[in-house]
């Protein structure tokens, strides 16, 4: 792995474990066994490192939240959407835990975030429309946008919610999967009798993952 890529990878790890505000460039350099001068050769400052990590976040979002192929069952696409929401939150959890503070201090970063967030919204909308198409849920057209917005809120700010309510507790993968269960919960009141049967396996899967220690 090239030095620049290693700095990005290990910085993401440190930010995830300790929080972005607690990690300085000196911490990163010491963690990697590099001199500060070597780190500054590749990155001007910590914000430059964050920008590079965010570029990877954007790529992850665009590559993961892809449109469904024709004839893919709605619950299969929903599972992919939920899995990618989890992957995004867990892999880039320091972003999700303090997203407003990070993006609002950098206009370019904010614009990129909004673009990526819209991609997630498009996939959420496609998931809901597919569920309605396959008679898994029944929902009035005028209610769809509100449901999608709630799904986006959970997907984007679940980590912030966990951090705000944590009492010296370590955020685990199970904690993140609880957020995925909340997405399923938002859909549940709209399910048809047939749809509830089809989604029950998926809901049980996420509830099991959310309960694992």
Q: List C-alpha distances in Å: 16 to 78, 114, 212.
A: 27, 21, 21
Give the whole-angstrom CA distance, residue 127 versus residue 79: 9
Q: Is the pLDDT of residue 70 over 70?
A: no
Return the structure tokens found at 150: 């709630």
Q: How many CA atoms does the CB half-sphere of 116 hold within 13 Å?
A: 25
Bridge partners, 191 (sequence order):
137
Q: In the structure encoding, which two tokens stand for residue 102, read together?
A: 């990070």
- Distance of alpha carbon 19 from alpha carbon 179, whole angstroms: 20
Convert the pLDDT of each residue in 3-58 to its tens digit. Answer: 999 999 999 999 999 888 889 999 999 999 999 999 999 999 998 999 899 888 88
The per-residue pLDDT for range 128-149, each reduced to its tens digit, is 999 999 999 999 999 999 999 9
Global confidence as pTM:
0.83
Q: Residue 67 pLDDT > 90, yes or no? A: no
CB atoms within 10 A of CB 105: 11
Burial zone of 170 (CB within 10 Å; 0-12 exposed, 13-18 middle, 19+ buried): exposed
pLDDT at 151 over 70: yes
DSSP 121: H
Q: What share of the chain is helix, strand, coil (3-state, %, to 5)?
A: 80, 0, 20
Looking at per-residue pLDDT, the higher value among 27 and 111 belongs to: 27
């Amino acid at each position: 792995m090239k030095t620049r890529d290693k700095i990005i990878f290990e910085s993401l790890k440190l930010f995830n474990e300790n929080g972005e505000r607690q990690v300085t460039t000196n911490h990163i350099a010491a963690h990697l066994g590099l001199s500060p001068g070597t780190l500054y050769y590749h990155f001007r400052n910590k914000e430059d490192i964050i920008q590079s990590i965010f570029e990877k976040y954007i790529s992850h979002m665009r590559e993961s939240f892809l449109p469904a192929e024709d004839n893919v069952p709605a619950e299969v696409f929903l599972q992919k959407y939920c899995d990618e929401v989890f992957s995004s939150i867990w892999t880039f959890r320091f972003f999700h835990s303090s997203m407003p503070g990070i993006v609002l201090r950098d206009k370019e970063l904010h614009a990129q975030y909004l673009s990526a967030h819209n991609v997630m919204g498009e996939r959420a909308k496609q998931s809901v429309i597919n569920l309605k198409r396959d008679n898994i849920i029944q929902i009035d057209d005028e209610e769809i946008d509100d449901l999608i917005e709630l799904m986006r809120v959970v997907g984007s700010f679940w980590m912030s919610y966990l951090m705000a309510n944590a009492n010296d507790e370590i955020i685990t993968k199970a904690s993140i999967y609880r957020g995925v269960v909340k997405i399923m919960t938002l859909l549940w009141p709209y399910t048809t009798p047939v749809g509830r049967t089809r989604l029950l396996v998926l809901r049980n899967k996420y509830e099991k993952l959310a309960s694992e220690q």
